[in-house]
Copies of this chain bind each other. A is one copy, B any other.
Amino acid sequence: MHAALVAATERAGAVIVPLEEADAVIWADPAAVDVFPELMARAGSARWVQLPYAGIENLAPFLDPDRIWTCGKGVYADDCAEWMMTALLSAFRDIPVFARASSWQAQSGRNLLGAKITLLGGGGLAESFLRLIEPWGCDVTVVRRNPRPLPGAARTVTTEDRFEAVAGADAVIVCLALTPETTGIVDARLLASMPDDAWLINIARGAHVVNDDLLAALDAGTIAGAVLDVTDPEPLPDGHPLWDHGNVLITPHVGNTPEMGLPRLAARVEENVRRWRAGEELIGSVDVASGY
């Protein structure tokens, strides 16, 4: 990853220098939170910092408003939207049931064609997803802070109206940034507002879902099941009760894999370095106050 981002930076015409001399920083490791404040302090002359990945909730507390911060938002949207479609189709067409069988099963499955889908989140993932699902003729409701219309969505509503927005859904997909406001947004009340045959799908962060409430809904049969690419904690430990439910499919944070993402992040870094040098607006700027 380091080599790929160095190459991208140099392709855009910039020179790699020690941290203390840098005008800009390309931060490559989202997990190295412990050294982030100290290294940023050393980069005193850096006015722009490019962060990796789209979700930056672990770095958000350390972002000072005096610099320009960009992250990988949008970089991984198409890959994650592809996973969203995979999750929907796998759930609706009973792929986990058939994958686990070693004998011919009874026919089952339902159509995604014409289904009602509710998205919690109206950012880059939602935009990419709406583009991919367009030929399916689905009725898509988007729940977002600002109910600005999105191309391909039948309607957008505010977060306050989320309970009504999931009431008629065949599937509810969480594709939100994780902030203090959205942590635990999938709680007992939201799950209870979903139809008994609706699927919950999470491509965002494990902490968006209250695990105990989800387990209670699964055990009570008040939702059809869940497809989770993110869990809390992550990795989900062996023996966790979510592993025991036949109507839960867990994928190991593969909405976007490093193999898929690195070429896309490198292209974003190259483009942003080029823009930075040309004095143009950067892509993926972070709203420091909002934390994403």
Q: Residues on A close to B: CB < 8 A?
A: 78-79, 82-83, 85-86, 89-90, 92-96, 98-113, 131-132, 134-136, 235-238, 243, 249-254, 257-260
Contacts and interface: CB of A to CB of B under 8 A. Distances in A.
Copies in the complex: 2
A111 B260 contact: yes
A85 B86 CA distance: 9
A100 B100 contact: yes
19 contacts: A78-B113, A82-B93, A82-B111, A82-B136, A85-B89, A90-B90, A90-B95, A90-B99, A94-B254, A98-B250, A100-B100, A101-B250, A102-B238, A102-B243, A104-B250, A107-B252, A107-B254, A109-B257, A111-B260
**Nearest 5 Cβ contacts at the A-B interface:** A104-B235, A96-B99, A86-B89, A99-B99, A86-B93
B104 A99 contact: no
Contacts of A252: 98, 104-107
Given A90-B89, A95-B90, A135-B131, A82 B254 contact: no
Contacts of A131: 135
A85 B260 CA distance: 20
A281 to B, nearest CB: 26
Contacts of A108: 254, 257
A95 B96 contact: yes
A140 to B, nearest CB: 14
Nearest to A79: B111
Contacts of A110: 259-260
Given A136-B132, A251-B98, A104 B236 contact: yes
A254 B79 contact: no
Given A89-B86, A131-B135, A99 B107 contact: no
A259 B94 CA distance: 14
Given A90-B89, A111-B260, A252-B105, A100 B99 contact: yes
A103 B238 contact: yes
A113 B82 contact: yes
